[in-house]
Amino acid sequence: MSLPRCNSKVLHLHESLAEALLNLTNRAVETGRQAGHIVYELDAIVEASFGGPEADKVLRMIEEAGRLEHETDIAQQRFVRLALRLEDHIKPLDMFMWLKVSQEIGNLANNAERVADKLRLLISK
């Protein structure tokens, strides 16, 4: 499977990696989406003076963001392990770039979790 050019280089994704990459990407997107839902709820918890049922709801959402980020970590580990098992069938530069791509996708989920954790601190003060 060929993907769009990256700095004038066509990256080739080994067919066996496609499902693992899609799973990783979906987990990261879900984590980001959850962080977005949490941010959206900020108005409600401000109106509730950072307490009550609204704050409890947001805290549960923050816990869910943490769980989703953990799932993203697991999906990233699976992708990397699979890629390394296929090392003999993947060009070295493609391998390097796909490992870098998986790292950046994981960073998106990490950043989303950090946003949620910072909001947890805001609520708990």
Residues in the chain: 125
Give me the residues paired with residue 22 across strands: none
Q: CATH assignment of 17-124? A: 1.20.58.220
Q: What is the mean pLDDT of residues 61-68?
A: 96
Output the CA–CA distances (angstroms, integers) from residue 11 to 1, 8, 26, 91, 98, in the order listed: 9, 10, 20, 10, 8
**Helix (H, G, I), strand (E, B), or coil: what is residue 86?**
coil
Per-residue pLDDT reduced to its tens digit, 13-61: 889 999 999 999 999 999 999 999 999 988 888 887 877 888 889 999 9
What is the tally of helices (H) and strands (E) in the chain? 4, 2
- Quick one: the chain helix, strand, coil %, rounded to 5? 80, 5, 10
Q: Which pTM value belongs to this model?
A: 0.85
Instruction: Answer yes or no: is pLDDT of 4 > 90.
Output: no
Mean pLDDT across the chain: 90
Tell me which H or E stretch contains 124: helix 92-124
Q: Give the per-residue pLDDT at 8.
A: 62
Domain boundaries, the chain: 17-124
Question: Could you give the 3-state DSSP secondary structure of residue 14?
Answer: coil
CA 33 to chain centre: 10
Distance CA(92)–CA(38), nearest Å, equals 40
pLDDT of residue 52: 84
pLDDT at 12: 85
